[in-house]
Amino acid sequence: MEKHYDIVVVGSGIAGLFFARKAAGLLPRGRVAVITKKDETESNTNYAQGGIATVMSGVDSFDLHVSDTLKAGAGLCHRKVVEDIILHGPKVIEKLVEIGVKFTRSKGGTYDLGREGGHSINRVVHASDLTGREIERALLESCRQRPNIDFYRETIALDLITYQHKNINCCGGVYTFTPRGRVFRSFYAPVIMLATGGIGQVYFHTTNPDIATGDGIAMAFRAGARVANMEFIQFHPTTLYDPGRRPFLISEAVRGEGGILIDSAGRPFMKEYHAQKDLAPRDIVARAIDSELKQSGAPSVFLDVSHLDKVFIKKRFPNIYKECKKRGIDITRQPIPVVPSAHYNCGGVVADLQGRTDISGLYVCGEAACTGMHGANRLASNSLLEAVVMADFASDDSLAFRQTNNFPDTPPAGEWLHSSLGGNREKIVVTHDIEVLKKTMSDFVGIVRSLDRLQMAGERLRIIQKAAEHYYLTQPASYPIIELRNMSLVAGLIVRAATRRKESRGLHYLLDHPETDDRWLHNTVIRPHNYLPRKNNLLRRKDGHSL
Ligand SMILES: Cc1cc2nc3c(=O)[nH]c(=O)nc-3n(C[C@H](O)[C@H](O)[C@H](O)COP(=O)(O)OP(=O)(O)OC[C@H]3O[C@@H](n4cnc5c(N)ncnc54)[C@H](O)[C@@H]3O)c2cc1C
């Protein structure tokens, strides 16, 4: 089945929705499709608590925000990108307010600005401690009011449709699968926006929801786009330790408001690791907790706010208070058990600030992109900012691109004969491989790495990747198979990048090379033709659609 649109957006988080809404407004006679793999709201965005970092108060300055960002990025931020994004911050906050986002305000009507680790001043605009949910609500409502946006929910993008034009690699569409009714569709459009978010699900412990399997990065890489800086995975220091239950993040804003990390004996330990103590950047805090846990053998450390005013806690962190209470912890009286878990990917598909990639017509924005904003470590609450600013810039750029180029209605790509795929293997085989992949990543490619462990991880992942490609080619399509295929590729990219960088910098800590070495003061860029195993390049579905 074929669908033709002016613009196709994959993903309905902050990046995808902001982009779709603006593009649909700029192109009132055009049609925009938003493809999203689960319910429209299910995204990393929906779970963001802390807020959006931006310069809003008279005592703050753009220079200060830039300098905090560069400091966290440990030498790898792209200064111009950082400056442009930060300068545009207040404008996108106003746009979000116009769209209907209700940020928390103080009594005087000004924004209530939170403080988070690594920021030298209060500058985080938030909607109580449910900022992401409020943004998602307002953006979705606004998109639904646009008659020229069609939503395709519970629909997963599988691969990009690419073709060569005058020796240029072009993208003209995306193949999708909807499990209900087992519908396969090819969406064609001159502009494809990948806003598919993060990769947290390649780890065993993660703050990310199920959708975060790195699909966009895998699709773009398979289609020929470069990816960069995949070794820089941010581990959130404080996820609620509640084994066997859905992960729940304890926002960094809790430390910003005076929360203190203690061990099981009540000893505050952050002063032994960094001058900023509990307000140190999150990679330092995550490593400190990792080290405390390794030394003590305890399953968790604790975050204590019981010394703060009870009324303030309930008002500032109503969601955290309620969720912990539901799980048997009264945070106004008891310390919260916490552990670090995979949270944010600073790397991604190489893109400029307009979201342009190596492939003509293919745009990427938000967490799936690597622009140079975060360098080797993201400053807290800078990711929503980057996602929304990029979406704003990319909508202008992609419309101009569309208007100045002629495109074939249906690009000359081979027909996709999915229905010929047969066979039916027991599901346990795929489930098992997913579990092994996640455990491998958590145990061997976590907060502290070694070349030995990276090599072991690489060997295991190569086997899983090969198996995943085989399932994908021979079994009926299913979410677990499609996601395993993407996760094994993305996990392999993380290992490859981490093995290449023979130093410790930002979020990448390598026991064999614990020092920062300025010979590595550059991005780790992986080009598809250097990496994909030769055999994979030869694999084709029965229709000749190249993988
Ligand atoms: C618990 C938590 C708290 C956070 N707190 C903050 C914070 O306070 N401040 C901050 O700046 N950042 C925070 N972050 C990070 C931030 O939320 C994300 O980086 C940001 O929301 C990413 O937005 P996005 O639009 O790029 O991706 P997402 O919001 O993750 O959206 C991705 C979308 O793509 C869809 N998708 C993925 N693959 C496919 C596919 N193959 N086919 C179809 N659809 C697909 C998903 O279903 C989803 O709709 C937090 C993250 C988490 C997990």
Nearest to 302 by CA among 256, 255, 257, 233: 255
The b/e string for 149-178 (b: 16+ C-beta within 10 A; e otherwise) is bebbbbbbbbbbbbbebeeebbbbbbbbbb
**Ligand 1: residue whose CA is nearest its atom 1:** 47
Annotated domain spans of the chain: 238-343, 428-526
Residue 245 falls in the annotated catalytic set: no
- Higher-confidence position of 244 and 271: 271
**Ligand 1: residue whose CA is nearest its atom 38:** 196
The kind and range of the H/E element at 394 are helix 382-403
Which atom of ligand 1 has the smallest separation from the CA of 385?
11
How far apart are alpha carbons 433 and 306 in whole angstroms?
A: 42
Which atom of ligand 1 has the smallest separation from the CA of 249?
1
How far apart are alpha carbons 94 and 175 in whole angstroms?
A: 36
CA 253 / ligand 1 centre spacing (Å): 19
CA 290 / ligand 1 centre spacing (Å): 25
Q: What is the crossing angle of helices 451-474 and 479-500, to 10°?
A: 150
CATH 3.90.700.10 corresponds to the domain 238-343: yes
CB-facing half-sphere around the CA of 146: CA atoms within 13 A: 27
Per-residue pLDDT tens digits for 173-183: 999 999 998 89
How far apart are alpha carbons 82 and 393 in whole angstroms?
A: 14
Our mutation pick for probing the ligand 1 site, out of 34, 250, 383, 395, counting the most ligand atoms within 8 A of Cβ, is 383
72-86, 154-168, 329-343, 423-437, range with the lowest pLDDT: 423-437
> CB under 6 Å to ligand 1: residues?
10-16, 35-38, 42-45, 47-52, 131-132, 156-157, 195-198, 207-208, 211, 215-216, 249, 344, 366-368, 381-384, 387
**Same fold: 238-343 with 428-526:** no
**Ligand 1: residue whose CA is nearest its atom 6:** 48
pLDDT of residue 117: 79
Our mutation pick for probing the ligand 1 site, out of 18, 19, 36, 44, counting the most ligand atoms within 8 A of Cβ, is 44
CATH of domain 428-526: 1.20.58.100
pLDDT of residue 415: 58
Query: Is residue 547 classed exposed, middle or buried when 0-12, 13-18 and 19+ CB atoms within 10 A define those classes?
Result: middle
Say yes or no to pLDDT of 546 above 90. no
Q: 3-class SS at 294?
A: helix
Say yes or no to pLDDT of 120 above 60. yes
How far apart are alpha carbons 381 and 371 in whole angstroms?
A: 16
Per-residue pLDDT tens digits for 387-443: 999 999 999 999 999 988 777 767 766 656 554 455 566 788 999 999 999 999 988
Percent of the chain with pLDDT over 70: 93
Q: Residues in the chain, how many? A: 547
Per-residue pLDDT tens digits for 450-478: 999 999 999 999 999 999 999 998 888 99
Per-residue pLDDT tens digits for 348-362: 999 999 999 999 999
CA 112 / ligand 1 centre spacing (Å): 24
> Scanning the structure block, which residue is given the tokens 């992949």?
437
Residue among 115, 222, 255, 282 flagged as catalytic: 282
